Amino acid sequence: MELLRAYSARRLVRWSPAPTWSRNWSTSPSPKPYYVTTPIFYVNAAPHVGHMYSMVLADVLKRWQTLKGNTALLCTGTDEHGMKVQRAAAVENMSPKEFCDETAAKFLNLADSTNIEYDRFIRTTDADHVKAVEHFWFLLREKGLIYETVHEGWYCVGDECFYPESQVSKQMDPFTSDVFMASTETGSKVEWTEERNYHFRMTEMKEKLLEFFEKNPDWVVPAARMNSVVDWVKNHLEDLSISRPVERLSWGIRVPDDPAQTIYVWVDALVNYMTMAGFPMLPPGKEHEGGWPADVHVIGKDILRFHCVYWPALLLALDLPLPRRVLSHAHWTLDRKKMSKSVGNVVNPFFAIEQWGADMMRFYMIHDGGISDDADYNNIMIAERYRKQLQRTLGNLTSRVVKAKAWDVGKIVADVGVNGLRRVQSAESDDIFNHQENLLKDVLPAVEKHMEDLDPSAALREVMELLNQTNKFITATEPWRIAKDVHDPWRMASLSRTIYFAAESLRLAGILLQPVMPEKSAELLDILGVAKDKRQIQNATPYSDFGYGVPAYMPGPDGLFPPRVDDVSICMRPQSIQEATASERLTLEDEYENQESWRASHDKLTFIVCQPLPVEEKKEGAVSVVAGTADAPDRMVGDVNLFLYPYDSDDGSDDQASVVGEVDIMIAGSKDRGRGIGRAVVSAFLHYICRNLGGIMEEYTANSDGGSNKAAPKLKMFMAKIKQDNSKSIALFRSLGFEQEGDVNYFGEVKFVYQDLHQISATVPEGYTEFVYTRPNNER
């Protein structure tokens, strides 16, 4: 213990809650960088578009500050400790660190693919972060804010937190009808836990928290979530359990003076924001140089309590400055249902970026993403945004202004710089031009106001409205027509004003769009010939740059935003992909003929599903059925299939020694569904395969490349791909022991796997009987 105190004292010197850590940090001699953070993403599953949205929001805020000439920092990364990760790694037969390394790489790839300008991708397994968490624990311990006791309560592994009795209730699984206790806040299952662990005296912070909220009513955006935070502190605040016994949770940072306990994952995770800022290594008086306190935490609404109750309570307890604001955005839904890794209806962001490009996805995320209300992800809408907002509005305006041969943008801009705007002849023309000039003058203040309010979507819409109005302005003034009257000075004055204001609209839009679409906006500014040092916020006002107009390069004939395939909205939409690739439903007779053509295929096994045998044919001792009777066309119900193909590991390498057996079942008539036939068929089919696996694998090997020279592969697992909205099929396979693996694919399918083949072989389904199939000519 003395050694511990000596160690603690040394660490306290490095980062003590000195007066410079009050919220009066702005009095420091050197400026504090603007510091924005994303949540660190939990690595128990692959990234989805919700993660991408958090990243893009934070990146836009950071790039906006850079555009203003400020030093700005962005931290993103992964949260890698906790029970969920420990269990997920065990399922994959990997060590937790190996599992984290693999998944963290996917989130890093997402940040890079989305063009996120992060300054650090932090991982909670990083060595400096571990030290920061240990030091944070010591600070709490030294102030007497931690005590040990036996904790009883409802713990949720999925949410990684305890819930009070008032926040749990009984719920029923719609698939299995199992009744369980769940969080009323998230719907996640909870389990009663009794354990000895450490607690943080959070209730002692209640008055400080409420005082802070009263003085900072705009701390959380949007305001409605601020109200829920205040309500939680007033009515639900309890001391916080901040450790778990090692025998329950071994994957995490150990309590420094008690290796039998693991620090609570949320204490661990929240400290990452300070780790990035240099905690605890920066000397007193220099803490602000790392960026702390954060100017904005960007988070999803589902982790509001952790960031807006637990985190400020911990910081206030140590007299450390709180983050300046928290932007709590809403979720993305799919078909108005929340995207969830557990539900399996998440959209793969990498596929979306591959199809649309990073800039288009960034535009869509900011334009349509929700802060207060959830936004519904829709590929048709992405296509609409591309065509109407980018191609027809921005792209069309660029082509109309820059590509015309009837005028020279560079000469017009330079002339205005030397001689000013030429007078026009009529009052009506004056009104049109004055309106457009006011739009140019008003756009920057409007965008600045929205960005100050942490509403990038509204800011983006201001820019797009300027472009929309400018297209109308061009149409109304008809510069292509008046350009023909080169000897009429009044008409030439109108032409000059029209092209100048249109070019200015493009220039201002190009500058203001840089945080949202960094690549396309740079391309636009290059087309306009705007110098690299004239692309800052101070240049986003009319009459501030007269040196542009000579293109650094010209786009191809298709312009800044080339047209896409006419039916892009259809070919990109998951539901439509399913419809486009699915076969027409066959009659049972056609299905029978179709299956006949598969008989010789070495990698397919098909059984026709028929009505249950009549009672007389089930009599004891029956050993065969006759073709054309039990399987007469009017008795056919559907089919069940096995497709064999080489196992493809997650790292992309083929395991030639193993194959996957994909199972597919179709019950054609509605009158035959809901009777338990499907479950009985799949259960019997799987048992048959396992009983006859040797022969099936020999046939597969003999007719595949290499033939009899190859050893028969091992069947690694059964797998089924089911449309995400097919709840009955999902329930069927789950009831047989299949478990979901990964997220929904772009075709809207969820993958379920079953790997315990021995269990299937050993468990004989009720009523299972194998009959000899006799044809009319006595062939078997």
**CATH code for the structural domain at 2-354:** 3.40.50.620
> What is the predicted pLDDT for the residue at 594?
40
Reading the block at residue 632, the tokens are: 């007469």
Q: pLDDT tens digits for 180-190?
A: 788 776 677 87
Q: Place 623 in a pLDDT band, splitting at 50, 70 and 90.
A: low
Looking at per-residue confidence, does 716 or 30 come out higher?
716
Taking CA atoms, 560 is separated from 210, 358, 389, 467, 735, in Å, by 52, 15, 12, 14, 53
Taking CA atoms, 415 is separated from 54, 318, 364, in Å, by 45, 62, 38
**Is there a contact between 277 and 287 (Cβ–Cβ < 8 Å)?**
yes
In this model, does residue 48 exceed pLDDT 60?
yes
In this model, does residue 17 exceed pLDDT 60?
no
What type of residue sits at position 419? N
Mean pLDDT check: name the lowest of 213-227, 710-724, 738-752: 738-752
Q: Place 777 in a pLDDT band, splitting at 50, 70 and 90.
A: low
Residue with tokens 């809650």: 17
In this model, does residue 339 exceed pLDDT 90?
no
In this model, does residue 433 exceed pLDDT 80?
yes
pTM: 0.69
The domain segmentation of the chain, as residue ranges, is: 2-354, 378-570, 583-774
> What is the predicted pLDDT for the residue at 567?
38
Please, what is the angle between helix 693-702 and helix 677-691, to 10°? 70
> What is the predicted pLDDT for the residue at 210?
98
CATH class of 378-570: mainly alpha
Contacts of 689 (CB under 8 A, 6+ apart): 605, 642, 661, 696, 715
**Is there a contact between 527 and 60 (Cβ–Cβ < 8 Å)?**
no
* Coil, strand or helix at 703: coil
Reading the block at residue 145, the tokens are: 């804010």
Percent above pLDDT 70 for the chain: 82
The torsion angles phi and psi of 565, rounded to 5 degrees, stand at: -55, 135
Q: Place 241 in a pLDDT band, splitting at 50, 70 and 90.
A: very high
**Is there a contact between 183 and 162 (Cβ–Cβ < 8 Å)?**
no
Rg (CA), the chain: 32
Mean pLDDT check: name the lowest of 128-132, 250-254, 257-261, 692-696: 692-696
Under CATH, what is the fold of the domain 583-774?
Aminopeptidase (3.40.630)
DSSP string covering 169-204, please? EEEE-TTT--EEEEETTT--B-EEEEEEEEEE-GGG
> What is the predicted pLDDT for the residue at 588?
40
In this model, does residue 572 exceed pLDDT 80?
no
In this model, does residue 576 exceed pLDDT 50?
no
> What is the predicted pLDDT for the residue at 589?
40
Reading the block at residue 210, the tokens are: 């409420």
Can you say how many angstroms the Cα of residue 636 is from the centroid of all Cα atoms in its chain?
44
In this model, does residue 565 exceed pLDDT 50?
yes
Residue 311 to residue 242: CA distance in whole angstroms: 12
Q: How many CB atoms lie within 10 A of CB 24?
A: 10
In this model, does residue 582 exceed pLDDT 50?
no
Sign of the torsion formed by the C-alpha atoms of 195, 198, 200 and 201: positive
**Is there a contact between 661 and 717 (Cβ–Cβ < 8 Å)?**
yes
> What is the predicted pLDDT for the residue at 465?
97
End-to-end CA distance of the chain: 81
Mean pLDDT check: name the lowest of 22-31, 415-424, 753-762: 22-31
Residue 580 to residue 171: CA distance in whole angstroms: 38
The torsion angles phi and psi of 104, rounded to 5 degrees, stand at: -60, -35
Question: Which residues are paired to 41 by β-bridges?
Answer: 78
The torsion angles phi and psi of 705, rounded to 5 degrees, stand at: -60, 130
Residue with tokens 């100048």: 500
Q: Place 214 in a pLDDT band, splitting at 50, 70 and 90.
A: very high
> What is the predicted pLDDT for the residue at 569?
39
In this model, does residue 14 exceed pLDDT 90?
no
Mean pLDDT of the chain: 83
> What is the predicted pLDDT for the residue at 525?
98
In this model, does residue 421 exceed pLDDT 60?
yes
Taking CA atoms, 126 is separated from 6, 46, 54, 98, 269, in Å, by 24, 20, 22, 14, 12
- Mean of pLDDT values over 511-537: 98
Reading the block at residue 416, the tokens are: 């205005």
Residue 198 to residue 253: CA distance in whole angstroms: 14
**Is there a contact between 54 and 300 (Cβ–Cβ < 8 Å)?**
yes
Q: pLDDT tens digits for 381-408?
A: 899 999 999 999 999 999 999 988 899 9
Residue 728 to residue 677: CA distance in whole angstroms: 12
> What is the predicted pLDDT for the residue at 159?
65
Contacts of 399 (CB under 8 A, 6+ apart): 559, 560
> What is the predicted pLDDT for the residue at 564?
74
Residue 662 to residue 741: CA distance in whole angstroms: 14
Mean pLDDT check: name the lowest of 139-148, 315-324, 509-518, 745-754: 745-754
> What is the predicted pLDDT for the residue at 581?
24
**Is there a contact between 145 and 200 (Cβ–Cβ < 8 Å)?**
yes
Sign of the torsion formed by the C-alpha atoms of 344, 350, 355 and 356: positive
> What is the predicted pLDDT for the residue at 462?
98
Q: pLDDT tens digits for 650-660?
A: 433 344 578 88
Sign of the torsion formed by the C-alpha atoms of 243, 246, 250 and 256: positive
In this model, does residue 167 exceed pLDDT 80?
no
Contacts of 732 (CB under 8 A, 6+ apart): 678, 679, 682
> What is the predicted pLDDT for the residue at 593?
40
In this model, does residue 352 exceed pLDDT 80?
yes
Residue 521 to residue 464: CA distance in whole angstroms: 13
Q: Place 670 in a pLDDT band, splitting at 50, 70 and 90.
A: confident
